[in-house]
Amino acid sequence: MHADPKGVLTGVHFLDGDHACCEGLLAAGARFSAGYPITPSTEVVERFASRIPTVGGVFIQMEDELAASIAIQGAVWGGAKAFTVTSGPGFSLMMEHIGYAAMTETPCVFVDVQRGGPSTGLPTLPAQADMMQAKWGSHGDYGIIALCPNSPQESFDLAITAFNLAEEFRVPVMIMLDECVGHMTEKVVIPEADQIEVTPRRYTKKAPGEFRLFEPQADQVPDMVRAGEGYRFHVTGLTHDERGYPSMNLETQDRFVRRLQDKVKPLANGRAICETEDLDDAEVVVVSYGITSRVAQRAIQLARARGIKVGKFRIISAWPFPEQRIRELAGRVKAFVVPELNLGQMALEVQRAAAGKANVTPVTHAGGSVHNPEAILKAIEESVR
């Protein structure tokens, strides 16, 4: 299905990541957003507030992130495509409702423009320290999808991908920007609406009596519904059966919770989204994402100039972690170098997937700025020594 032209600002623009992300969300068909101001994410919803009244939708600034993160879910069940936007402290506040979205299989998008933490941290400076939180931040076992853009253009593109995946898998999707990508201004090309593929919400074709809101189809994903159509459905965060009724027993819990994780597994395997270069003869692979991948690119250039066989693996879908690709690489490379703007988060996943078959060298950074390419270069050189 193609995008609705009303939300597509076709043209060549000069935008920062926050603004480009907003345009991507609009192009994807988002017509409802609830937000709360928090640096460095606020521009996303400020732009949405300014654009949506001429596109046709609603923005409401809620009283806090707890409200914003669930207002969007009410809107989804009312039939809208909805998202919210935040940064670290707000992301923490939203965790209960991310779990609620996962449990109720509510398709929606959460944008986290990461900043220095923990706590109030460095409100105006970049970090990538919410990565583990994106997957594990809420209580219990559940699956989510997380995407990491590394440019304003990608902030636009991945916003559309995020909504498409949310609808396909009936799951909350996180877009993990960082302050640098969010506030850097670059060329963003927005195509014509009919060049943009949008995944429609998979509304059920069954009649109200027959439809079961939590009955998975062949792909382990149930069909959707919206309020007001006579389905008289029920949504609860309690462990529930295929009808959506509370069913708090071991058998239902096992069946249901495992499916929440299993349904997104394709992204851990063949559907992983990544960008790779020079892997064929690589002895060391630099695994990075977001703004760090831009810095890593420079380090990789320098390393190759010195004759090191270094490959690039840029993570775009960080959760589910692309473990199949990393595991396969671990079998034939000596080492992975994992630079991140944190003290080692996705590096842990690389280590896990590598299962000891290759060394993993994190290049940590407490946040506040980007790496010096020399630091990454040094790690590359040491890993092949």
| Between 163 and 336, CB nearer to another protein | 163
| Between 161 and 342, CB nearer to another protein | 161
- Residues near another protein (CB under 8 A) are 1-6, 28-29, 31-32, 34, 53-58, 60, 62-64, 66-68, 70-82, 96-97, 100, 107, 167, 194, 198-201, 203, 224, 226-238, 245-246
| Between 26 and 131, CB nearer to another protein | 26
| Between 8 and 318, CB nearer to another protein | 8
Closest contact distance (angstroms) between CB of 100 and another protein is: 6
* Residue among 27, 29, 92, 97 nearest 68 (CA): 97
| Between 53 and 270, CB nearer to another protein | 53
Closest contact distance (angstroms) between CB of 267 and another protein is: 21
Closest contact distance (angstroms) between CB of 168 and another protein is: 12
CA-based angle 64:70:37, to the nearest 5? Answer: 30
| Between 228 and 307, CB nearer to another protein | 228
> How many angstroms separate the CA atoms of 261 and 140, rounded?
11
| Between 14 and 203, CB nearer to another protein | 203
Q: How many CA atoms lie within 13 A of 160 on its CB side?
A: 23
The DSSP result for 5-74, as a single string, is GGG---EEEEEEHHHHHHHHHHHHT--EEEE---TTTHHHHHHHHHHHHHHS-EEEE-SSHHHHHHHHHH
Residue 241 CB partners (closer than 8 Å, separation 6+): 214, 247, 252, 256
| Between 81 and 365, CB nearer to another protein | 81
| Between 144 and 370, CB nearer to another protein | 144
Closest contact distance (angstroms) between CB of 37 and another protein is: 15
Q: Do residues 74 and 224 make contact, with C-beta atoms less than 8 angstroms apart?
A: no
Closest contact distance (angstroms) between CB of 329 and another protein is: 36
Question: Which residue is listed with tokens 């390393």?
Answer: 303
| Coil vs helix vs strand at 298 | helix
Distance of CA 11 to CAs 48, 182, 192, 203, Å? 18, 20, 8, 32
> For residue 118, is the peptide bond before it cis, meaning its omega torsion is within 30 degrees of 0?
yes
Q: How many CB atoms lie within 10 A of CB 11?
A: 10
Q: Do residues 168 and 222 make contact, with C-beta atoms less than 8 angstroms apart?
A: no
DSSP 267: G
Closest contact distance (angstroms) between CB of 318 and another protein is: 25
> How many angstroms separate the CA atoms of 342 and 337, rounded?
14
Closest contact distance (angstroms) between CB of 91 and another protein is: 16
Closest contact distance (angstroms) between CB of 30 and another protein is: 9
Closest contact distance (angstroms) between CB of 48 and another protein is: 13
Assigned token pair, 131:
């990565």
